[in-house]
A and B are shown apart, each in its own frame.
Chain A
């Protein structure tokens, strides 16, 4: 093939057989030629232009036949969805250029967007805890670039499912329509959609999801050897030995291959309180406890002082926040004619940490002192065992074996007690019944009570509901419709159930104390970014102001008075709830997620050599293998070269025919 150009060259000089043409006189032509000979070199070049063009043509054709190409990312297909993970782990700065993984992913998507041809369209979805369509399908590259620029890092966890469902909605639109005659028609043309997932893969696979037309490509971002130290817990609690002393508990996890010594600093209201050195083994957790002393209030901040030689690549989890609340003891009143089982369940050491339980006899219900106290928010919870007040108190209540003296509850109740109900179902997800096993509880007599509107049945039996809960203003009433200790026909006190013998009994009452005894409930939960926070607020205001960690204030409407649901927890830190200029509540949002903090790419050994490759994603039954970081797609050049050759050919033809040079 290499001989062709020299052959053309030789032919060009051999061939030049001019066609003879008789003219009246060469007189003028000779003068013309003489003129042109003055710049003859240029003339020769001009004359040889056709030769050069032929050589160029052959060169292009030969080059095309050699099938050149280069490695690069290419877009094959018509429609594309770019899923960009923006979760906390994507803020790691372990990319080659030192930018965050998210920026890396964005720049890689931008590079792909630049390759979009006119017939292609793409959409961009970012996802962390919640998926978000940043840009719907468009072929406008400017819009796509703008959409990419809008994606900011989030502190949330990774949830691919939502993003996949969203993408599925766009990629597999309603496929069938039914006409009047009942015939089914395909509405939309089924089109494959290329799904590019840019993520570090720090999440579990997605189960029970069908990809349909989606053609997934997983492009992992990150490195195997990334290092990170993370605070994975910060709790406050009462000292085990001395209940009046509060303690702070900090847990640090080392996500690297070597054990590390790290200093944990603890600040209270931005004042350094204490620091502790912690040895954390590789891939393991270390913890330390700080004594806060008595009567502490404010915001706790734990901070990791990362050693210099350690390259910590995710800074989000180097800080943690906690709110130390006013330890006003919750007051719980137990009104009972005598119930040893209940009393002992409420007087355990654990129960003591939740609340101070006072016990009175039913006779007190008639007294003026009780009436005034019960109507003035004195108690957080009043437990009526085998008795009932005349009016409902201003407190949460738990009724045992009796109905509240209000019509709403009486309407759903059956007056006759049922015998031997068997528990068939209970709401395990409800905080009152969490971690309880009730299937083995035997009950003799019970009332069947259906909760009024807005209430929930928590325990269902063969005869009907026997434990329900319903809101009453800002309080809640829970009705356990069977007695624990009752009176038999002979007037002897006897057990109505064998529940007190089960482990679930004290646990249940601890749950009751924990659930109803006011503020303590909130501080034990740890709030995660991008997840809604539910708070109980001692306020009747309809609107509250929430101050975000960065100082921005948002006004939140309360749907039910005293109950604040806040969704805007994108930032890590302490949120302050303001009620008419007074701090009503504080809550902290922390990452505390080992999955997100472990920023190393999930690796898998493959082949006999044990080469480390990125673990593939499993979506439904499909394993989406990770594409290597620089996707080795061969970009072919021959089409371009042939097109160029064609252009040269046309040019040559044109020049030959039109006698146009240069």
Chain B
């Protein structure tokens, strides 16, 4: 049953803010349909690209008659083709994401919806998926502003509860989506088997990949006291600790090195990495941090 979130995923203020943005990719991909984006292909648009000699079969409409009058040569004027962008949001919906206030999953959903909305209004091809989807389960492809409600419904329906390793989930994603484009992977990267394999799939898939690691405030600054038995919500693994200042210090160090490790790993492979805290409003994350990272502008 779909959980009705107390807050709408996208508030009117956020929508108004997002209207001004567009998704950016450093790589130029081939789109499927005409869009608002320049493509590698030359085509029909108002933006001039080049001249070339006419060869039989070319569209006569493209001849530059002015040049013909001057040079008596048939020259075709080439224009840049504008195409759509493939935008994927991949949400980690494991149990571990169902923590924090708002939960990390809520946060991820909101972020994905916001970015998806940006894609929709710029006529990009938007697809929002979760890790748990099997190779055959595909999410709807959304296009155009009118698809916003469908997108929101789809995002709202995402529930926590699946347990699948990161690597498996990303592999399935790559199998499902052959097309290249921009992939935003929203996860906490907390996988006992490591996140490295999963991210390597993105690299090999040659997508423009953004990894947004969402951590809750409780994870970054745990407020634990006394003798505790910590139970992992995913695999019921137990860690016995006695909270103390040195222990917490050590935790901070470990967390920092974990985050730093992920950052290094990503930057070495051309993956954008961003650490997000669930207390940071999505508006700010999108408007400031992501803009600075070059995902939107």
Binding site for B on A (CB under 8 A): 16-33, 35-36, 46-47, 656-661
Binding site for A on B (CB under 8 A): 95-97, 99-100, 104, 188, 190-192, 216, 218-219, 222, 224-234, 237-248, 250-251, 254-255, 258
Out of B104, B192, B250, name the residue touching A27 (CB < 8 Å).
B192
A33 to B216, CA, bound (A): 21
Inter-chain contact A28/B251, CB cutoff 8 Å: yes
* Candidate in B95, B104, B230, B258 with the most chain A CB atoms within 10 angstroms: B230
In the complex, A658→B240 CA distance in Å? 19
Given known contacts A32-B254, A659-B245, is B233 in contact with A24 (CB within 8 Å)? yes
Which of the residues B227, B232, B250 comes within 8 Å of A25, measured between beta carbons? B232
Using A18-B227, A23-B232 as known contacts, say yes or no to A30 and B188 having CB atoms under 8 A apart: no
Known: A26-B237, A27-B191, A661-B244. A21 touches B251 (CB 8 A): no
Known: A28-B190, A32-B241, A661-B245. 7 other contacts (CB 8 A): A21-B231, A22-B233, A23-B230, A26-B230, A26-B232, A32-B254, A33-B241
Give 8 pairs: A residue, B residue, CB < 8 Å, sorted on A. Answer: A16-B227, A21-B231, A23-B230, A24-B188, A28-B255, A47-B244, A659-B243, A661-B246
Whether B238 and A26, one on each chain, are in contact in the complex, defined by CB atoms closer than 8 angstroms, is yes
User: What CA separation (Å) do A183 and B200 show in the bound complex?
Assistant: 104
Task: Kindly identify which residue among A21, A22, A24, A35 contacts B250, using a CB–CB cutoff of 8 Å.
Answer: A35
Output the nearest chain A residue to B234 by Cβ-Cβ distance: A25
In angstroms, how far is the closest chain A Cβ from the Cβ of B294? 29
Inter-chain contacts of B230 with A (CB < 8 A)? 20-23, 26, 29
Q: Nearest B residue to A17 by beta-carbon distance?
A: B227
| Contacts known (A16-B227, A18-B228, A32-B254); A25 close to B243, Cβ less than 8 A | no
* B233 engages A29 (CB within 8 Å): no
A32 touches B242 (CB 8 A): no
CB-CB under 8 A from A656, the residues of chain B are 226
Chain A residues with CB under 8 A of B97: 24
Complex partner residue of B247 from A16, A24, A36, CB under 8 angstroms: A36
Determine which of B190, B191, B231, B242 lies in contact with A47 in the assembled complex, contact meaning CB atoms within 8 Å: B242
Closest 7 CB pairs of A and B: A25-B190, A18-B229, A24-B96, A26-B232, A26-B239, A29-B239, A24-B99
Closest to B229 in A: A18
Give the CA-CA distance A658 to B226 in the complex, in Å: 10
Which of A31, A32, A661: most chain B CB closer than 10 A? Answer: A32
**A49: min CB distance to chain B, Å:** 9
Q: How far is the CA of A18 from the CA of B241 in the complex (A)?
A: 8
Kindly list chain B residues whose C-beta atoms are within 8 Å of the C-beta of A31: 254, 258
Given A32-B250, A659-B243, A661-B245, check contact A24 B190 (CB 8 Å): yes
Closest to B224 in A: A21
Write the nearest CB–CB distance from A654 to chain B, whole angstroms: 12
For the complex, give the distance between the alpha carbons of A46 and B250 in Å: 15
Residue in contact with B246 in the complex, picked from A21, A23, A46, CB distance below 8 Å:
A46
B250 contacts across to A, CB distance below 8 A: 32, 35-36
Q: How many whole Å from B260's CB to the nearest CB in chain A?
A: 13
Q: A33 CA to B241 CA in the complex, in Å?
A: 7
Smallest beta-carbon distance A21→chain B, Å: 5
Docked Cα-Cα span, A152 to B132, in Å, equals: 100
Of the residues B224, B237, B254, contact of A28 by C-beta under 8 Å: B254
List chain A residues, Cβ under 8 A from B255.
Answer: 28
What is the distance, in angstroms, from B270's C-beta to the closest C-beta of chain A?
Answer: 26
Selected from B104, B237, B244, B254, the residue in CB contact (under 8 A) with A659 is B244
Which residue from B219, B239, B246, B258 sits with its C-beta under 8 Å from A24?
A: B219
Residue of B nearest to A15 (CB): B227
Smallest Cβ-Cβ distance to B242: which chain A residue: A47
**Chain A hits for B243, CB < 8 A:** 659
Could you tell me the distance between the alpha carbons of A660 and B188 in the complex, rounded to whole angstroms?
30
Q: What separation, in Å, do the CA atoms of A35 and B230 have in the docked complex?
A: 17
- Please indicate the chain A residues that have their CB under 8 angstroms from the CB of B191 in the complex: 27
